[in-house]
Amino acid sequence: MKRFHVHVAVADLEQSIKFYSTFFDVPPSVTKDDYAKWMLDDPRINFAISTRGKAPGLDHLGIQVDDSEALKLISTRLKTAEQPILEQEQTTCCYAKADKAWVHDPQGIAWESFFTTDVATTYGEDSDFNTQTNSACCAPMPESVPVSISLGKRECS
C-alpha cells in the first residue's frame, strides 16, 4: 500500500505542531527540535514539517511505499516520464534511512518516492547538502524549466 507524502517548511515549529495537531486531531508520531511528522491513516498520508527550508511553504510531495519492489516500479515509470531522476540507496534524511527516487515535475516541484528501511538519529547526511537546494529535505537540484503563461494577447515568461 502506498501513502501520500507532503513536506512543508515552517517558520515556527511549535506553533505549526499545535495547528496541525488540532487540524488532524492527533499529536505527531515523531517530534524533533526541527521536525515533526504525522503518519495518518485517514487520510492515508505521511505529513511532515520542519524548520529546515529556505522559506516557509510547500517543500516537496511524494509517495511512500511498503517495499523495494514498489519503489522499483515507480522508478521505472518515472524514467519513462523523460525527466532527470536521482536514485539513492540507504540515504539518511528526515530522521530516517531510505531508498529513494527523486524527480522534478515540469513545473519544478520535487517528488520523492521512497521506501523507509530504518530510523536515524540525525536529520540528514550533511555531506549531501552541498548538492541540494535550500530544501527542507534532501531533494536534488531541479533542472531549469522555462514556463510561459498566456494572458490573452500578452505572454509572460
Count, in order, helices (H) and strands (E) of the chain.
2, 10
Give the range of the structural domain holding residue 84, as residue numbers without chain letter. 3-156
36 Cβ neighbours under 8 A, 6+ residues apart: 13, 16, 17, 20, 28, 30, 48, 49, 50
Predicted confidence band of residue 24 (pLDDT cuts 50, 70, 90) = very high
What is residue 140's predicted lDDT score, i.e. its pLDDT? Answer: 62
Whichever domain contains 120, its CATH number is 3.10.180.10
Give the tens place of pLDDT for each residue, 100-131: 888 888 778 889 888 888 777 776 764 343 34
Give the chain's domain count.
1
**To which residue does cell 528526515 refer?**
94
Average pLDDT of the segment spanning 69-93: 85
Q: Cα dihedral sign for 106, 107, 110, 113?
A: negative
Point out the least confidently predicted range of 12-26, 34-48, 143-157: 143-157
What is residue 127's predicted lDDT score, i.e. its pLDDT? Answer: 35
- CA dist., res. 59 & res. 135, Å (int): 6
Grid cell, residue 131, equals 548538492
What is residue 139's predicted lDDT score, i.e. its pLDDT? Answer: 63
Closest to 61 (Cα-Cα) out of 143, 3, 18: 3
